[in-house]
């Protein structure tokens, strides 16, 4: 991101919720975004993920500027290159775990058999081997969130974005899910960007960026300041 500023309203006096943010994230790294409520974390995530277009500045992904793209192209790129894990899984209650995980592939035109065959080993690596036929209602919160992680990985994304992925889990389950998310992203070569207000969650990532009033006020590697 270079010189990224964002206002939700277009008039000149609208407040900038992000101001001239400069940020480079190396491929394959895991980054936590922290900061108080209202500091701009979700906005930053949505800009990086191409959900929002910035008011000013550029956001480059694999040589392409997301800020300069049409909404249609950005949507296509988002579907092809990015994976998302939401706070409470957002799984479809009537589908078994393996079909929930396979859904992005099926929506992209892959047959159900092929899509499920692709996600089964991912689910197994996440410790869900015996549960692939269970519906979300038959899974614990932590298990359901691991299905959501498998779904985010199904399309082999370059980046996984997630906003408070453990927010609905108790802290020990949340910590376990976070470790699995980081390990699964690394195993798939995906970059990981995690918004969280939980220092324990952030501690699992290799780098933490702190926002305050729409500006980056700290940027630390896991082993210390950089
Ligand atoms: P955080 O995720 O750190 O809590 P957000 O990125 O959600 O912060 O919000 C940053 C600021 O932008 C807040 O002041 C919030 O009220 C404002 N904001 C967020 N979404 C919208 C929106 N859709 N329209 C107008 N203002 C918004
Ligand atoms: Mg938020």
Q: What is the pLDDT of residues 83-98, one digit of tens each?
A: 999 887 689 999 999 9
Ligand 1 touching residue 40 (CB < 6 A): yes
Residue 59 maps to a domain: yes
Asked whether residue 180 is assigned to any structural domain, the reply reads yes
Indicate whether residue 214 lines ligand 1 (CB < 6 A).
no
Quick check: CB of 8 below 6 Å from ligand 1?
yes
- DSSP calls for 161-199: EEESTTTTS-HHHHHHHHHHHHHHHHHTT-EEEEE-S-H
Whether residue 49 lies inside any domain: the answer is yes
166-224 pLDDT, tens digit per residue, is 988 998 999 999 999 999 999 999 999 999 988 989 999 999 999 999 999 999 998 55
Asked whether residue 106 is assigned to any structural domain, the reply reads no
Q: Does residue 153 contact residue 184 with C-beta atoms inside 8 Å?
A: yes
Residue 120 lies in a domain: no
Q: Percentage of the chain surpassing pLDDT 90?
A: 87
Closest-lying ligand 1 atom to the alpha carbon of residue 46: 6
Kindly state if the Cβ of 35 falls inside 6 Å of ligand 1. yes
- The verdict on residue 129 lying in a domain is no
The average confidence (pLDDT) of the chain is 93
In a domain, 115, yes or no: no
Q: The domain spanning residue 221 has which CATH number?
A: 3.40.50.300
Which residue has the least CA distance to atom 19 on ligand 1? 43
Strand-pair partners of 210: 34, 218
Q: Is residue 134 one of the residues assigned to a domain?
A: no
| CA 211–ligand 1 middle distance (angstroms) | 13
In the reported structure, the alpha carbon of residue 176 is separated from the centroid of ligand 2 by a whole-number distance in angstroms of 22
Contacts of 138 (CB under 8 A, 6+ apart): 131
What is the extent of the structural domain holding 73?
2-10+26-93+142-225
Question: What's the whole-model pTM score?
Answer: 0.94
Query: Cα-atom radius of gyration of the chain, to the nearest Å?
Result: 18
Please tell me the total count of domains within the chain.
1
Half-sphere exposure of 176 (CA within 13 A, CB side): 12
* Ligand 1 contact via 210 beta carbon (within 6 Å): no
């Amino acid at each position: 991101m270079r010189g990224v500023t964002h206002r939700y309203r277009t008039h000149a006096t609208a407040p900038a919720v992000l101001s001239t943010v400069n940020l480079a994230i190396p491929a394959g790294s895991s980054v936590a975004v922290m900061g108080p409520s209202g500091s701009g974390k979700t906005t930053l995530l949505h800009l990086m993920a191409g959900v929002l277009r910035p008011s000013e500045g550029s956001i480059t992904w694999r040589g392409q500027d997301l800020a300069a793209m049409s909404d249609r192209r950005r949507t296509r790129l988002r579907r092809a290159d990015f994976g998302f894990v939401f706070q409470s899984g957002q799984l479809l209650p009537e589908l078994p775990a393996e079909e929930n995980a396979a859904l992005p592939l099926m929506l992209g035109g892959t047959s159900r058999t092929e899509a499920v065959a692709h996600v089964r080993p991912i689910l197994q690596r996440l410790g869900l081997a015996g549960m692939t036929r269970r519906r979300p209602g038959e899974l614990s919160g932590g298990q359901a969130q691991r299905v959501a992680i498998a779904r985010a990985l199904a399309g082999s994304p370059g980046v996984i974005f997630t906003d408070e992925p453990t927010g609905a889990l108790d802290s020990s389950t949340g910590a376990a899910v976070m470790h699995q998310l980081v390990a699964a992203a690394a195993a798939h070569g995906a970059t990981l960007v995690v918004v969280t207000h939980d220092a324990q969650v952030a501690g699992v990532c290799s780098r933490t960026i702190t926002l305050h009033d729409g500006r980056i006020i700290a940027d630390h590697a896991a082993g210390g300041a950089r």
